[in-house]
């Protein structure tokens, strides 16, 4: 896929479907407008994410938006996650109830990834920021990634171990994707250097400009609102799962 792409992604009993970017990117801004399938969608997952698992199966990076389908009639749930350098043993999930019906019209899901931070945005409102600092350095995504959008059957993963599996009597499940925006440092070879600087702060650089180095006051207000009003799970508060919380949670 490339800028301006649009498509319908379909899940039926035979298979799921997805799109992958033609290029791999090292830092950038990536966005897609998505309209989710309506009806009973338990076990269905629609994802918009960056990954390099194909090139680094044992040491991969990943930045995820995952939209989890209805569970006994509940609204869609938004989940964000991040892995760096193969750190898959520690899930860094956070979950939100959306403040709109994502099946009625398109909404934008965006990822900003640079040397300063990773920001997840929904309709341009930040819902999560991962700051690149000493606490996150070892697990911060550090290698070029491709961009994907997919729909798939996650019955065993997303519904309490298969308690509410996908009901294919309601298939096909169709997610519409449009207005793709992929802007970043394109890397053409596996080990080649990125095309733009990791630390420059040129205002002309769409990846590393001043406005992308930290959140504005308005964005911080939006972030606090989203997390205070709509987030219902954070790995940093899951002491039953982690007897010792990851270092970024203790800062």
CB 78 within 8 A of CB 232: no
From the CB of residue 74, how many other CB atoms can be counted at a distance below 10 Å? 13
**How far apart, in whole angstroms, are the C-alpha atoms of residue 48 and residue 65?**
5
Give the pLDDT confidence of 5-41 residue by residue, as tens digits.
Answer: 689 999 999 999 999 999 999 899 999 999 999 999 9
Output the pLDDT for position 162.
67
Q: What are phi and psi of 187, to 5 degrees?
A: -115, 120
pTM above 0.85, yes or no: yes
Integer angstrom CA distances of residue 138 from 134, 193, 205: 8, 20, 26
Chain centre distance of CA 79: 8
Q: For residue range 202-221, what is the model confidence (pLDDT) as tens digits?
A: 434 455 666 678 999 999 99
> Would you name the residues annotated as active-site residues?
62, 66
CATH 2.60.120.200 correct for 7-250: yes
């Amino acid at each position: 896929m490339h800028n301006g792409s649009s498509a319908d992604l379909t899940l039926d009993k035979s298979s799921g479907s997805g799109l992958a970017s033609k290029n791999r990117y090292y830092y950038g801004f990536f966005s897609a407008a998505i309209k989710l399938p309506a009806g009973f969608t338990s076990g269905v997952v629609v994802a918009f994410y960056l990954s390099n698992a194909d090139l680094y199966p044992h040491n991969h990076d990943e930045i995820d938006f995952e939209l989890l389908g209805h569970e006994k009639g509940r609204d869609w749930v938004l989940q964000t996650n991040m892995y760096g350098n193969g750190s898959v043993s520690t899930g860094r999930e956070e979950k939100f109830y959306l403040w709109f019906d994502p099946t009625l019209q398109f909404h934008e899901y965006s990822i900003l990834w640079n040397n300063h931070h990773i920001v997840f945005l929904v309709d341009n409102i930040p819902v999560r920021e991962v700051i690149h600092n000493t606490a996150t350095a070892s697990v911060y995504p550090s290698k070029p990634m491709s961009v994907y959008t997919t729909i798939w059957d996650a019955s065993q993963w997303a519904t309490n171990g298969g308690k509410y599996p996908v009901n294919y009597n309601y298939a096909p499940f169709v997610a519409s994707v449009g207005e793709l925006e992929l802007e970043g440092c394109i890397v053409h070879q596996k080990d080649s250097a990125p095309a733009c600087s990791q630390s420059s702060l040129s205002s002309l650089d769409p990846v590393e400009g001043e406005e992308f180095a930290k959140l504005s006051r308005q964005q911080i207000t939006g972030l606090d609102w989203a997390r205070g009003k709509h987030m219902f799970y954070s790995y940093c508060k899951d002491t039953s799962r982690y007897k010792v919380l990851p270092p970024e949670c203790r800062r």
